Structure 1
Amino acid sequence: MYNQKNFKQVDDQIRILESRGMIIPDYDRCKQYLLTNNYYNIINGYSTYFQTSTGDDQYIKGTSFDEVCNMYSFDNEVKQTMFRAILNVEHHLKSIFAYRFAESYPDKRYSYLDINCYSNEKTLSVGYIISQLSRIINKQKKYPNNSIHHYVNHYDDVPIWVIIDYLDFGELVTMIDCVPKKLQNKIAKDLTSFIKDNLPDFKGQFTPEIMISLVKNIRETRNVCAHNNRLLEFRCRADSMYFPAIYEKYNIKPNGLRKRTFSIFLSMQCFLSKTEFAVLSNTLRKRFKHLSNQLKSIEITEVESLLGFPDNWQNHSTIVQGEI
């Protein structure tokens, strides 16, 4: 037997919130907000952070509906900010990968469909990515007015720098993970220009293993943002590999947690220009500061903890945003 959740009118939903101690500053505005934003997403997703520890669904004294809405908006704004930065990460990776792959196989048609152009240790993943690339070409060549159709019909080949724009981030990460170590080393070496730009004192090594580990967690975070899932409390499936250049500065130890939003944010210094990372950092800082001014019943440090950020992170100084 299942306990069925019966439909409730918005007025009934508001009465439930009030019975649990939530303050409704503007009844009509609350009603419209719940109607257009989904009670389940707002209340079940974000009001729990304002509840007491008694386990009876009661809210902390003084909790208002506006605070819950501000928390919901904050999570959305952070996701949008992270997503924009991740698009830049994806752009840089696609450009570097396409160049280095083409350089490695300059005279081979459809080189990325050749199993010999990949690592022998990744047979299953190689089979998957070759299948995906073939599917993309077979689909796109049917339609005129796109670059794949043009190259297939005029050159009987689609260069890597053309098909790369048709790959999603997951397919790109799989390709990087599957190419030979020599090629991965070249990509990682190219990315050190970003690391040195953001961390001028960097003199260590950026290995392919660290690069791929960081990129995989960036990809997981990207999917949360793109699918509009809740970023608060999100954790990647595994900790990224320890990279002292970015983690030591923030006192993150080798045995510390590296699967939260904060560590993903830090890792993007390896894939963004100094200006791009400054925009990301300063925008997030403003988002935290704005929410801090809106909260009354809980502290901003509690929200920072939900994303893995250190206490009072929003009070850190801004990073100078120069020219790209």
Structure 2
Amino acid sequence: MPIKPFKSTLDQHNLLITRGLTIKNKDFFIDYVNKNNYFNVINGIEDLLLVKPGDKVKNYDTASFDDFVRLHKFDKILTNHVTSILHDFETKLKTSISRHFTESYCRTPENTMQYTNKQNYIDLKTTLGDKYPLYHDQNRKVVDEFNDFFLFKPQFLYFLVKNNDFIDINIFSTPSNQYTPPAGCNLYEKDSRQIVVPLWVAIETFDFGTLQRFCHYSRKVVLEKVLKDFGLNYSDRDLFLNSLDIIRELRNKCAHFSLINRFSTASTFRILPILVNKLNMSPAQKIRTVTVNGGKKHTKHAAVLNLYDTLKVLGSYEKLSKLKKPLKKIIYSNNKNFKKNKYDLNVRLLERMGNNNYSDWKKLLS
């Protein structure tokens, strides 16, 4: 796409008028676009409202700016609800990990910091190396950088306390002459006191990527119980870990305020056949065999999921029912307010999100 010259909001207004877009209130247009970003309001939605998306000459036929606003507001509401569901999932994952790891390795006060001891985890590089699932795709760093996991860093406790005001060292510490940190565990001493922060406290500071790493490295005694909390068996380990890849992608898009109706997972995140088959998904890139390193065959797993299939993954672990109402409302509103002439707006919207069959959406979100 060529670099385009700067246009004021008024210039953008006038350009859209020449393309046949009905704008009833110029001041409202300028105010709404200035507050919500032209790309998200117009560029990110226009393919749903252009007569022929992709044509060099853009024409809007019966569309109005009200249609853009309605679709944009729907997207924001849907994103907020998805974010809420993702938060519930992440909270459940943190709670499950901290409970079961503590039960296995940190039962006594003396062993509180055992979650920083790498001996309590699986070194995937040593045990499996490049044979680990998806090693040649998104899991290479997970395997190769085991020793760099931030829980094992010598200054982990120091930075945990320094960067998080809610961790009060008057509470989470003990006199140094009464506590000896176990071998292999992180330590931080201040004012003749050893800092001791339980996993259930520290885990609140972990980002989603760290939670993923924690699951990858967890031994069976821990992960088996975590999987049970999500309705799975230990044999579903790879399926669950791959699910976390997809959920993380959705989480990041929501966090960056991207239009969720345009969502798709990145092609760099590959999807295992066991997950594709279980949820009957249709990745845009199918599994295939490629030739690498002078003739060596390598399997490239499927990739690129749309919103519909991604919600199938999330829906395996959390209820999606709160998404049903906003979807029903936009379908009804479009039917009522959009002047259908050459295309059906709702078909386009549902198709962009991954499935143009509204009945399927209702089943998914029930």
Q: Distance in 2 between matches of 1:40 and 1:270?
A: 33
- Determine the structure 2 residue equivalent to 1:126: 146
- Determine the structure 2 residue equivalent to 1:201: none
Alignment of 1:227-306 (within 5 A): 227-237=256-266, 238=269, 240-241=271-272, 242-243=274-275, 247=279, 259-272=305-318, 277-290=319-332, 292-293=334-335, 294-297=337-340, 298-306=344-352
- Measure how far apart 1:314 and its partner are: 8.0
- Determine the structure 1 residue equivalent to 2:65: 65
User: Which residue type is aligned with residue 116 of structure 2?
Assistant: L
Residue 158 in 1 paired to residue 187 in 2?
no
Alignment of 1:1-324 (within 5 A): 5-51=4-50, 52-53=52-53, 55-106=55-106, 107=108, 108-122=111-125, 124-130=144-150, 137-142=157-162, 146-147=166-167, 149-150=169-170, 152-154=172-174, 156-192=195-231, 207-237=236-266, 238=269, 240-241=271-272, 242-243=274-275, 247=279, 259-272=305-318, 277-290=319-332, 292-293=334-335, 294-297=337-340, 298-313=344-359, 316=362
**Cα deviation code 1:281-318 (max 9, x no counterpart):** 43454354355334445421211121213412487379
- Measure how far apart 1:176 and its partner are: 0.9
Question: As a proportion of its length, which structure holds more strand?
Answer: 2
**Cα deviation code 1:219-267 (max 9, x no counterpart):** 110010011122233221335443489625x999x97877222222222
Question: As a proportion of its length, which structure holds more helix?
Answer: 1
Structure 2 SS opposite 1:149: coil
Count of residue pairs brought into register by the alignment: 303
Structure 1 residues 148, 32: closer, same or farther in 2, change over 3 A?
same
Which portions of structure 1, spanning 4 or more consecutive aligned residues, are displaced by more than 6 angstroms? 254-258, 317-320
Structure 1 SS opposite 2:44: helix
**Cα deviation code 1:12-53 (max 9, x no counterpart):** 211100111211122222222223223233222222332224
TM, length-normalised to structure 1: 0.79
User: Which residue type is aligned with residue 307 of structure 2?
Assistant: T
Structure 1 residues 267, 162: closer, same or farther in 2, change over 3 A?
same
- Measure how far apart 1:151 and its partner are: 5.0
Q: Distance in 1 between matches of 2:259 and 2:154?
A: 34
Structure 1's unaligned 5+ residue stretches are 196-203
Deviates more, 1:11-20 or 1:43-52: 43-52
User: Which residue type is aligned with residue 16 of structure 1?
Assistant: L
TM, length-normalised to structure 2: 0.71
Structure 2's unaligned 5+ residue stretches are 126-142, 175-193, 288-301
Q: Distance in 1 between matches of 2:145 and 2:34?
A: 45
Deviates more, 1:255-264 or 1:211-220: 255-264
- Measure how far apart 1:319 and its partner are: 7.1
Q: Percent identity?
A: 20
